[in-house]
Amino acid sequence: MAKKKVTDEAPKHRDNPNVMGLHSAVVEQPITQTLELNYMPYAMSVIVSRAIPEIDGFKPAHRKLLYTMYKMGLLTGARTKSANIVGQTMKLNPHGDAAIYDTMVRLSRGYGALLHPLVDSKGNFGKVYSRDMAWAASRYTEAKLDGIAAEFFRDIDQDAVDFQDNYDGTLREPCLLPTTFPNVLVSANQGIAVGMASNLCGFNLGEVCDAAVAYLKDPNADLLSILKAPDFSTGGQLLYDGAEMAGIYETGRGSFKVRAKWRYQKEGNLIEIYEIPYTTTTEAIIDKVAELIKLGKVREIADMRDETDLSGLKLTIDLKRGTDPEKLMHKLFRSTTLQDSFPCNFNILIAGTPRVMGVREILGEWTAWRIESVRRRVYFTLKKREEKLHLLKGLKKILLDIDRAIRIIRETEEDAEVIPNLMIGFGIDDVQAEFVAEIKLRNINKEYILKRVEETSLLEEEIADLKDLVNSPGRIKGVIAEELKAVKKKYAVPRRTEILYEFETAQETEAAQEAPDYPVHVFVSREGYFKKITPQSLRMSGEQKYKEGDGPSAYWETTNREELLVFTDKQQCYKARLSDFDDSKASVLGDYLPTKLGMDQGEGVAFACLAQGYAPHVLFFFQNGKVARVELSAYATQSKRKKLTGAYSDKSPLVTALVLKEDAEVAVHSTDGRCLVFHTASLAPKTTRSTQGVNVLTLKGKHTLAGAELLSQSNIGNAARFRGRTLPATGSLLRPEDKKIPDQLTME
């Protein structure tokens, strides 16, 4: 229960009425009622009206500032003092001048937080990559809207979006800005609300426009091949992990790494860092490097200084003699924010409701909203054309007898009777009569009237076209696509953030080399127990120990630096280096993989294999008779990820899997005793891990695929009898002399 203090005023002294006192009482109130009445309105206000961006890519503070600048004529006019803009914006935004100016700074070209700045600034606006560089006061700087802002206001006066009252009801402001491109994906945005947050990274404008056009044509288009990766105004290098990026595009959550760009200057023996991750600052980097030097963890640096000037960012590191710059930078990448993660949380307000969405879903919402905006714009134009046509039809009626119209006006005694008399005389309505009555005397000639009447047929054609456009979603999508292409042509710029697809070799090899390299024997049991035994220990050991009912499942001879891939019955893949496991003995059960790898509750081992340089392929055999051939490279990740989701298809239960170093013949068995032999060359390898595969074994009734093995490891006689000419095939029944359905399936 929450306690609420109620205070009443009362005389403190009965004999002195001028002396007032306070009598207070505490009233108990349910905590749920306190939250509902006091906390929830505040939380909802922060979420809906302040911190979370909407589908146009703006928070309310951004929208109010930009609309104020538009109404001030700053889209085409000269710059004005920032203080003037701040003062005018306070008519829409009551949060104070400091908050408004901070908002304008972050949208400015000088600050550099956006790929496409919305405010054309003049003066000191600070820098996004500096923590300590303060921007000048608003009275010293000037600003106007940047050219790209025209794409936010093109339809603003054509009823494309709804308007609402400002905080005191004296002005009207747009609820959203009718952006002609998905600005929500172009302009980076961050917000912290109550109980939730939003963190949107920016994407390249050209790629976003291409992706939006592709989505308009096909909602199932491969967006990852078009919208390659995020792009940042500070540049840097994005370490591309295809699986992680696909997850971000699908769910709107996840993270990726960005590292600084640098160059080595042999003359002077120094390193110059000229682009850093968007999430850090030069001061944070220098402070961390200084800390590492002080702790003795970095000894290769003689000096580090900030040489940023008007030409751009530059951090200089003086190296000691004999220092390898590559190794030093890899060490700094691991230990400082010269390599940093960007956490994605694509939380956007849709119709007042916060939703975390992937890129495809965001494009879907933006497309639906933009289609409605364009429809409203076209309908607005249609109504204007219909009003004009209505007036011209009235004018057409007086064409045959202009003199009569003049006579009616001239002979009407009272001004108020002119309109009714024209309506009666020509059979027109009051709007048409008002239009006729307002024609100037010099325009009462046949030439003028004939020209106006000629517009009638053109207007009728235009109106028919506009009506067709309003009622045709396909045509509206075409209009949106053309606008997107025009935006790309006019404003698109090359990517600033470089995408690194192959970057792990130096860093990962260095990390791998830290582990000792020696030969080992690896055993995995059917229940998921793992043992790594050295050859010496294995020679001295007796029989392998297993739990009751358990037994061997896989065995390899390899080295301590090899990687192990463990596939689970929940379509996940866990990765680990053999060096992460302690050397064991044959007389112990070994490490239980679900516990050692931190698997989810109830998750078990389905299949395990060695990475072997990620060169082999994996064949997944499913109960429904399908076989998926996936390149093992699809499980290679540039980051040190320990867990991959969607490791294989979940459409049918997995029966077994085989690792292929080279194409070979495989024998598959069904539960009705049939066997089919086929060559793996007939299966095309896929890079998509969750591929459903192709149908290989045709099953009858309720029978399923029961197992698979390499033909070379089986004892099937007369293999030609079981080979299928085409796939899928039913196979042939195994004869008693060559029938083999093993009790235990060997995994390689």
Cross-strand bridge partners of residue 610: 564
Same fold, 261-337 and 611-748: no
User: Which residue bears the tokens 């790929």?
Assistant: 115
> What is the three-class DSSP state of 661?
coil
Instruction: Give the CA radius of gyration of the chain.
Output: 37
- Which residues have CB under 8 Å from 275's CB, separation 6+? 234, 235, 236, 260, 261, 313
- pLDDT at site 242: 87
- pLDDT at site 424: 85
Q: Omega into 616 within 30° of 0, i.e. cis? A: no
- Which residues have CB under 8 Å from 31's CB, separation 6+? 1, 2
Tokens linked to 236: 């840097």
Task: Tell me how far CA of residue 369 lies from CA of 176, 272, 505, 669, 727, in angstroms.
Answer: 10, 46, 45, 53, 47
Residue type, 742: P
Measured from the Cβ of residue 660, the count of other Cβ atoms closer than 10 Å reads 18
What is the mean pLDDT of each successive set of 10 residues along the chain, which is 748 residues long?
49 47 67 82 82 93 96 94 96 91 96 96 95 93 96 94 93 95 95 90 96 95 94 95 91 94 93 96 95 90 92 94 90 92 95 93 96 95 92 80 82 86 87 83 73 82 93 94 96 95 56 71 92 89 85 90 92 90 88 90 91 90 94 78 87 93 92 91 88 92 91 83 88 76 45
Q: Which CATH number fits domain 261-337: 3.40.710.10, 3.30.1360.40, 1.10.340.30, 3.40.190.290?
A: 3.30.1360.40
Question: Buried b / exposed e across 433-453, counting CB within 10 Å, b at 16+?
Answer: bbbbbebeeeeeeeeebeebb
Quick one: CATH architecture of 366-491?
Orthogonal Bundle (1.10)
Tokens linked to 34: 């306190």
Whether 618 contacts 671, CB under 8 Å: no
Sign of torsion, CA 152 158 163 165? positive
User: What is the H or E stretch that residue 103 is in?
Assistant: helix 97-106
- pLDDT at site 24: 55
Alpha helices in 583-643 (DSSP H): 593-596
Q: Which residues are catalytically annotated?
A: 140
Beta strand spans in 32-127 (E)? 80-81, 119-122
Whether 353 contacts 365, CB under 8 Å: no
User: What is the H or E stretch that residue 463 is in?
Assistant: helix 446-470
Q: Degrees (nearest 5) of the Cα angle 38, 41, 43?
A: 100
Domain ranges of the chain: 2-44, 52-179, 261-337, 366-491, 515-591, 611-748
> Side by side, which strands form the sheet with 694-695?
654-660, 617-622, 626-631, 694-695
Question: Buried b / exposed e across 379-408, counting CB within 10 Å, b at 16+?
Answer: bbbbeebeebbebbebbbbbeeeeeebeeb
- pLDDT at site 10: 45
Tokens linked to 212: 């939006």
The CATH class of the 611-748 domain is mainly beta
Is it true that domain 52-179 has CATH number 3.90.199.10? yes
- pLDDT at site 736: 77
